[in-house]
Amino acid sequence: MSSSPERGRLIAIDGPAASGKSTLAQHLANKLGFLYFDTGVMYRAATLAGLQAGIPPSDEKRISELAFELSIDVRPPSKPDGRQYDVIMNGEDVTWELRSEAVDANVSEVSAYARVRQAMTERQREIGRRGRVVMVGRDIGSVVLPEADLKIFLEASVKERARRRHEERLARGEDVEYEEVLESMRARDRIDSSRDLAPLQAAENAVIIDSTHMSFEEVLERALELVQG
C-alpha cells in the first residue's frame, strides 16, 4: 500500500477512552470528505453479542467463534438522537446498546482475545484498503494500518477524561457518580495498556497530542495543520 497512488488517504487516530479521538476523527473526516470509522464499535458488538447469547465474557473460545460469525454494519445516522452513525448487528440496530454499562464493563476483556482481534483486524484492513478513511481505535497506527499516512495519538489525563465522560453521561440523563466513572476508566486503561496483544501505545511515528489543557478547537486546528503539512 505504501507505494500505491492511494497514499495520503489513510489517517489513523489512536488513544485511550474519552480522549476525544472520535469527535476529532469525525470532524476531520467531514472536512476531508473521508469515511469516519470507529473500530471500538466492533469490539463492543462482539461483547454485546456474547452478553445477549448468555455467553460469559470469560469464555474465550465461544466469544471468539461468535466474533467471526457476527455481521456488523456501520451506516450513516438514521435518527437525530445524538448518534454519530447506526451500528447494525445481525440486522438489529444496537447503536445505543453498545454504550451500556454492561458492555463498558466487559469490552476490555473481550477485546484482549487474540482471535477476536484477528476477526476484527481483518475487517478493518478491508475498510482501510479502500482509502480515504479516518480510522479510530487503540492499535490502528501500530497494527491495523501501519502504512497510514498520518498517525495521531490523542491523550489526556485520566481525571480529565473521566470528567468529560461523566459530563456526557449526565447529559444523556444517566445518574452516575464521577468517582465511579473515574474508577471504570482506570480499570479499562489498565487492561487496554497491559494486554500482550496490540496494547494501547503510540506507534513509533505517531504524533502525540495531549489534550488535557486544550479546547476541542485547538486540537482540531493542530490536527488540520498535520493533515496539511
| 190 or 225: CB nearest ligand DC | 190
| 66 or 107: CB nearest ligand DC | 107
**In the range 35-94, which residues lie near ligand DC by CB under 6 A?**
39-40, 43-44
In three-state secondary structure terms, 31 is helix
| 104 or 223: CB nearest ligand DC | 104
Going by the DSSP 8-state scheme, the letter that residue 174 receives in this structure is: -
Amino acid residing at 86: D
Task: Report in angstroms how near the CB of residue 21 gets to ligand DC at its nearest.
Answer: 8
Task: Report in angstroms how near the CB of residue 23 gets to ligand DC at its nearest.
Answer: 12
The burial of 54, by beta-carbon neighbours within 10 Å (0-12 exposed, 13-18 middle, 19 or more buried), is given as exposed
Q: Quick one: which segment of 61-69, 73-81, 103-111, 162-170 binds ligand DC (CB under 6 A)?
A: 103-111
Task: Report in angstroms how near the CB of residue 87 gets to ligand DC at its nearest.
Answer: 11
**In the range 1-30, which residues lie near ligand DC by CB under 6 A?**
17
Q: Quick one: which segment of 136-144, 150-158, 202-210, 220-228 binds ligand DC (CB under 6 A)?
A: 136-144
Q: Is 138 in the site for ligand DC (CB under 6 A)?
A: yes
Do residues 10 and 148 lie in contact, with contact meaning Cβ atoms separated by under 8 Å? yes
Neighbours of 2 (CB within 10 A): 10
Residues facing 207 on adjacent strands: 152
Q: Is 155 in the site for ligand DC (CB under 6 A)?
A: no
In Å, how far from its chain's centre is CA 175?
24
- Grid cell in block for residue 40: 471500538
CB proximity list for 108: less than 8 A, separation 6 or greater: 187, 188, 191, 192
Binding to ligand DC by CB under 6 A, coded x per residue (else -) over 174-193, reads --------------x---x-
Q: Is 107 in the site for ligand DC (CB under 6 A)?
A: yes
CB proximity list for 59: less than 8 A, separation 6 or greater: 50
In three-state secondary structure terms, 24 is helix
| 9 or 44: CB nearest ligand DC | 44
Residues facing 14 on adjacent strands: 137, 153
Q: Quick one: which segment of 86-94, 105-113, 202-210, 217-225 binds ligand DC (CB under 6 A)?
A: 105-113
Task: Report in angstroms how near the CB of residue 218 gets to ligand DC at its nearest.
Answer: 22
In three-state secondary structure terms, 159 is helix
Note the residues at the interface with ligand DC (CB under 6 A): 17, 39-40, 43-44, 107-108, 111, 137-140, 188, 192
